[in-house]
Copies of this chain bind each other. A is one copy, B any other.
């Protein structure tokens, strides 16, 4: 399933000088995204070092496969995702060759733009956004706050739990998040009231983009599920815990989540992640085997995502003092995920639900089993009972106005060049009057 080829060769260098020491975007990464310059139309680009290769511009050079042009010259990646993983791999090979070899450098170089001169957009039109709950330590930590003796519900180890989120309010990194208002009820209060959330939180997640879809009524077999994944991003599932606690029964979170979801702009392809794939960690003794529709040997052998995730906080006071952002959590995705990306996709389509190119699927909060790897303030502050003390003496149970949250991710492995996801940033603005 993993396809390590010359595009992953650590000896391969780019003639884009900044790529060769870039933490996120060396030539071994080559993620796609959608950018614009000034008031120009959004177009598809590929991140390389601190530059973007304008794929639409590249199309004009005649260096791209003609069959790809309709999909690659649009303002979103949906049609490209629909073409599937073979084309994705072929484009990766081509871009890797063009950006490393000198043969076409003169033709390609004019289509490089400084990232700092661009504005990033959502990489695709998101038809449906689904959020899962595969972070077992997160589910356990949250469950403990409600049910200390049996934090995980009986279905958790059988069903990859998920629910539908709001597609319209998914925004790209950098867009501020307005503190939502809503109904919240203090435990001791007789009635709820409506006002700004007092327990605004972040959630550290991975996002999965659907590539080729399936037709309504048809399923995606687990063995084919990886082929339906176009790539990955970082995802911050902003959450208003007070709204959530009051509204979520019996149909799940709604207004506590749908006011905004932030994602990083670059789609890290499945192929770029190949060197960082691992065996899925074995299930603890006594846990049930996944049902056959969720079992696949290849996925067990390489479905673990060796992605190092990080969430950092910068308060207004910290920024004013020029302080470094404070690291809230750090951990590996595969250590947090009870279900793999392939299992998520196969389960989602197991009832015939039609996934479409560009659909976004969140993993759910990815907390590890260590205190340093908790993916939300709800867990870090134990439901607000043990406020976090920052180096400058400020405390946080939940996010305050002016707080800026940054998600980032790096993938490292022996014999591979480290690649990264870029960042997913959002600053909290006060509630509107």
Contact = CB atoms under 8 A, between A and B. Distances in A.
Interface of A: 127-128, 133, 143, 153, 155, 158-159, 161-169, 171, 178, 180-183, 185, 191-194, 216-219, 240, 243, 246-255, 258-260, 288, 291-293, 347-348, 350-356, 359, 432
Contacts of A216: 168-169, 171, 178, 259-260
A221 to B, nearest CB: 12
Contacts of A255: 347-348, 350-351, 353
Contact of A251 (B162, B192, B351): B162
Contacts of A169: 216, 353-354
Contacts of A167: 127-128, 167
Given A164-B164, A248-B250, A249-B155, A291 B193 contact: yes
A396 to B, nearest CB: 22
A155 B351 contact: no
B159 A183 contact: yes
B250 A153 contact: yes
A292 B353 contact: no
A174 to B, nearest CB: 14
Contacts of A250: 143, 153, 161, 248, 252
Contact of A259 (B133, B165, B353, B355): B353
Given A153-B250, A159-B183, A178-B352, A166 B168 contact: no
Given A164-B254, A194-B350, A217-B178, A247 B355 contact: no
Nearest to A347: B255
Contact of A254 (B162, B192, B217): B162
Number of copies: 2
Contacts of A217: 178, 259, 432
Given A182-B351, A194-B293, 17 more contacts: A127-B167, A128-B166, A128-B167, A155-B249, A163-B251, A163-B253, A168-B353, A168-B354, A168-B355, A169-B216, A180-B352, A181-B351, A194-B291, A243-B351, A250-B252, A252-B252, A255-B350
A166 B356 CA distance: 11
Contacts of A293: 194
Nearest to A161: B251
A194 B292 contact: yes
A143 B250 CA distance: 9
Contacts of A161: 247, 250-251, 254
A364 to B, nearest CB: 9
6 contacts: A159-B247, A163-B163, A164-B258, A194-B292, A252-B253, A255-B347
A261 to B, nearest CB: 11
A254 B182 CA distance: 24
A152 to B, nearest CB: 10
A191 B352 contact: no
A168 to B, nearest CB: 5
Contacts of A359: 168
Contacts of A240: 351
A128 B192 CA distance: 28
A259 B351 contact: yes
Contacts of A178: 216-217, 352
A107 to B, nearest CB: 39
A252 to B, nearest CB: 3
